[in-house]
Amino acid sequence: MGIKVVNLHKSFGEPPVQVLKGIDLTINDGDLVSIVGRSGSGKSTLLYVISTLDRATSGEVYYDNQNITTLNSEQIHQLRNSQIGFVFQFHYLLPELTVLENVLLPAYKKKLQKEKREYALSLINEVGLSGKEGRMPGQISGGEQQRVAIARSLLMDPRYLFADEPTGNLDTVNGDNIMALFHRINESKKTTIVYVTHDLDYANQARRKIELVDGLLT
């Protein structure tokens, strides 16, 4: 069981520019996968399409043998809310909420904010932000905001975690900590993790590394 991508194409614009030109990829449950490639090679696009945040132009994406390219938007939301965590390259915290409230955000939809509070605090601790749970996003650094977003993505214990350059704004110590956290989550919760990175050391820490060149995987 896991995710299977078959002959995936994605184009943008008119006339269409092909970004992904026939990607075939299998991600097994429990996997830890890194995606590398030059800037503009389509890494974010691939991550978005695999994670349901964007639609393919053609080709299929299967979750446990279910073709998600045929799901309607309500079914997609259901899948996303129940199984998927996402860390954006630009974290999208809500500026009027505290650090803790931002981390708890995915719990509000299911009215689980009380039950998840302790877990949220432990995740804030794991990303090295203990003591800052009451700050507003504007009162912490960009790297700290990114770590809040990482804690938020893990709150609901997603089956799949997708992260777009999660360490891109972090210094070495905090980048190393996030990679260590990914390894811990992958091992202890069996979370399947797929992350994009520019950093070859971090890419090599994955169990599997895939590279995008000219819209295809090498």
Among 34, 44, 186, 192, binds Mg ion (CB under 5 A): 44
Nearest approach, Cβ of 213 to Mg ion (angstroms)? Answer: 15
Beta strand extents in the chain (DSSP E only): 2-12, 17-28, 32-37, 58-63, 66-67, 84-87, 160-164, 192-196, 208-213, 216-217
Q: In what order do the strands lie in the sheet with 58-63?
A: 17-28, 2-12, 58-63, 66-67
Nearest approach, Cβ of 13 to Mg ion (angstroms)? Answer: 17
Nearer to Mg ion, 44 or 146 (CB): 44
Among 41, 52, 145, 205, binds ligand ADP (CB under 6 A): 41
**Is the link from the previous residue into 95 a cis peptide, with omega within 30 of 0?**
no
The conformational region for residue 92 under phi > 0 = left, psi -120 to 50 = alpha, else beta, is left
Nearer to ligand ADP, 11 or 69 (CB): 11
Query: By the 8 A CB rule, do 140 and 105 touch?
Result: no
Place of tokens 């996968």: 33
Rounded CA gap, 42 and 30, in Å?
A: 24
Instruction: Choose the stretch contacting Mg ion; rule: CB under 5 A; options: 41-49, 59-67, 74-82, 140-148.
Output: 41-49
Among 12, 90, 92, 108, binds ligand ADP (CB under 6 A): 12
Within residues 105-124, the interface with ligand ADP by CB under 6 A covers none
Nearest approach, Cβ of 43 to Mg ion (angstroms)? Answer: 5
Which residue's Cβ has the minimum distance to Mg ion? 44
Place of tokens 């689980």: 112
Within residues 42-61, the interface with ligand ADP by CB under 6 A covers 42-45
Nearer to Mg ion, 90 or 108 (CB): 90
When CB distances are held under 5 to 8 angstroms depending on the partner's kind, the choice from ligand ADP, Mg ion, none that residue 186 binds is: none
Q: 113-126 vs 142-154: helix axis angle to the nearest 10? A: 130
Rounded CA gap, 24 and 33, in Å?
A: 14
Q: Which helix (H) or strand (E) holds 49?
A: helix 43-50
Nearest approach, Cβ of 92 to ligand ADP (angstroms)? Answer: 16
Interaction between residue 19 and ligand ADP (CB under 6 A): yes
Interaction between residue 13 and ligand ADP (CB under 6 A): yes
When CB distances are held under 5 to 8 angstroms depending on the partner's kind, the choice from Mg ion, ligand ADP, none that residue 19 binds is: ligand ADP
Q: What are the residues binding Mg ion (CB under 5 A)?
A: 44
Q: What are the residues binding ligand ADP (CB under 6 A)?
A: 12-13, 19, 37, 39-45
